[in-house]
Amino acid sequence: MIGRIYHVGLTVSDMDRSIAFYRDVLGLEFQGKIFMSGEETDRMFGKKNCQARVAYLNGSQNVETPPVELIQFVENETHHAQPDLFATSISEVCFYTDDIDAVYENLLAHQVVCLSEPQYFDFTAQGFGKSKAFYFRDPDGIILEMMQPL
């Protein structure tokens, strides 16, 4: 009954800054924006007079690849909590690359906070193969992961 993931939503504090990061730094393609308001939006988010700016970006034309949905609530206070890999929640959004070292150097050149340099993992004994990966943060501190299967 449940199919593929449709999108991955991230609440951001500054839509323009976040679009620039995901588009210009990570290289995702900007797909468009919508504005949400009205009774349906109030019911959806469980908040009276709720308004939201929403943007979609994707790194693939493949329909099976879900886009990143950025949400900025307008005239509503958002609570900035420091994302934590060790807290019960969504821990990160992982992006695929075929050149993790170049991506890592590009992120450093853009002063992006990286939690480590790319790390090598060999999980062939568990049936998952080899990869390199590292975590980094977007402008709101949201934890993201970059992975390159080897």
Task: Find the domain containing 12 and state its range.
Answer: 8-74
Kindly state whether residues 15 and 66 are assigned to the same domain: yes
Residue 76: partners with Cβ closer than 8 Å, 6 or more residues away = 47, 50, 51
- Quote the Cα angle for 53-7-46, to 5°: 50
Going residue by residue through the chain (150 aa), what tens digit of pLDDT does each one get?
888 888 999 999 999 999 999 999 999 999 999 999 999 999 999 999 999 999 999 988 777 789 999 999 997 666 777 777 777 777 789 999 999 999 999 999 999 999 999 999 999 999 999 999 999 999 999 999 999 999
Kindly state whether residues 12 and 65 are assigned to the same domain: yes
CATH code of the domain in which 12 resides: 3.10.180.10
Kindly state whether residues 68 and 102 are assigned to the same domain: no
Kindly state whether residues 115 and 62 are assigned to the same domain: no
Q: Is residue 29 part of a domain?
A: yes
Kindly state whether residues 14 and 65 are assigned to the same domain: yes
Q: Is residue 70 part of a domain?
A: yes
